């Protein structure tokens, strides 16, 4: 049920490190043609740091772990590519659609393929004002043993509520060289992280200890703050107006996040886009280093 790219097949045969990469950021998170350029550069960064990139997506109902050049181009440019979470995978397969995978779906497929490390931008979480409305990402990470490198949760969400849910699911959160929980566009969301790590080797040791203690039934979240954050005043201004615009336009449910991300890109004059790209590149580099340490 899974098709592997030639590069991933070679990595599996040689037992060398592999890093899973999500495809939603390519199909729905970045504008064209920059999305394809960034996807190629992120894969290059993973290779330069000693690991093999495995971008995950579904093409014509087939799960792909690692994409060939023409397949990556299709995910980046085909308007018919939908977004798929874990609940959608069997349906997408049966209907032979093409889909980019969310954090939840990418984690699930990576785990099926035996991949231990996954790099993404920001996690989904609890939506502002709706404690019952939360991303499937949280539930997936509560059940899947994988190291996920991210820049915290998207700042458009309820960060406090999301951290509470991560604690409820017993998902450890490690601040990479920080005790501040990052807020995606911002290096500091205003919340503390209890546990700090300073190297990929420390993360590898924690991974090994979890296996020995049989506490490895969920993900490890590595929160890696972006180095050059968005101007906080600009961020808060755009967020406030974006939330108001979403309410005025009656944007609800899973449509809120893409609406606000697009709003940020437009109203920040490209500043949020720059930070978004910096985030995925930084996280891909760290994920590759962790995969090598494991």
Q: Is 55 exposed, middle or buried (0-12, 13-18, 19+ CB in 10 A)?
A: buried
Q: Which two tokens mark 161? A: 């509520």
Pairing, β 99-101 against β 52-59: antiparallel
Pairing, β 130-134 against β 126-127: antiparallel
Verify cis geometry, omega within 30 degrees of 0, for the bond prior to 293. Answer: no
> CB–CB of 99/57 below 8 Å?
yes
User: In this structure, what are the phi and psi dihedrals at residue 18, rounded to the nearest 5 degrees?
Assistant: -130, 140
Q: Would you please indicate which residues are annotated as catalytic (active-site) residues?
A: 22, 154
Q: Is 251 exposed, middle or buried (0-12, 13-18, 19+ CB in 10 A)?
A: middle
d(CA 265, CA 24): 16
Q: End-to-end CA distance of the chain: give it in Å, rounded.
A: 27
d(CA 76, CA 116): 25
> CB–CB of 261/268 below 8 Å?
no
């Amino acid at each position: 049920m899974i098709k592997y790219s030639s590069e991933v097949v070679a990595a599996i045969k040689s037992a060398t490190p592999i890093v899973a990469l999500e495809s939603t950021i390519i199909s729905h998170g970045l504008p064209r043609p920059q999305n394809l350029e960034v996807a190629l550069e992120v894969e290059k960064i993973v290779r330069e740091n000693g690991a093999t990139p495995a971008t995950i997506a579904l093409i014509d109902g087939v799960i792909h772990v690692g994409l060939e050049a023409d397949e990556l181009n299709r995910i980046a440019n085909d308007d018919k590519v939908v977004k798929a979470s874990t609940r959608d995978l069997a349906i997408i397969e049966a209907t032979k659609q093409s889909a980019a995978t969310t954090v939840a779906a990418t984690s699930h497929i990576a785990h099926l393929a035996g991949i231990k490390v996954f790099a993404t931008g920001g996690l989904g979480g609890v939506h502002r004002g709706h404690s019952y409305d939360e991303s499937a990402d949280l539930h997936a990470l509560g059940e899947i043993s994988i190291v996920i490198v991210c820049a915290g949760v998207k700042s458009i969400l309820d960060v406090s509520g999301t951290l509470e849910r991560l604690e409820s699911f017993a998902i450890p959160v490690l601040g990479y060289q920080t005790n501040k929980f990052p807020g995606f566009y911002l290096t500091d969301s205003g919340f503390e992280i209890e546990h700090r790590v300073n190297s990929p080797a420390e993360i590898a040791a924690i991974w090994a200890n979890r296996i020995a203690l049989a506490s490895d039934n969920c993900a490890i979240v590595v929160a890696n703050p972006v180095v050059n954050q968005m101007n906080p005043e600009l961020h808060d201004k755009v967020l406030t107006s974006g939330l108001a615009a979403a309410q005025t336009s009656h944007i609800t449910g899973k449509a809120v996040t893409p609406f606000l991300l697009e709003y940020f890109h437009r109203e920040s004059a490209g500043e949020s886009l720059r930070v978004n790209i910096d985030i995925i590149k930084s996280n891909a580099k760290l994920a590759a280093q962790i995969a090598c340490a494991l």
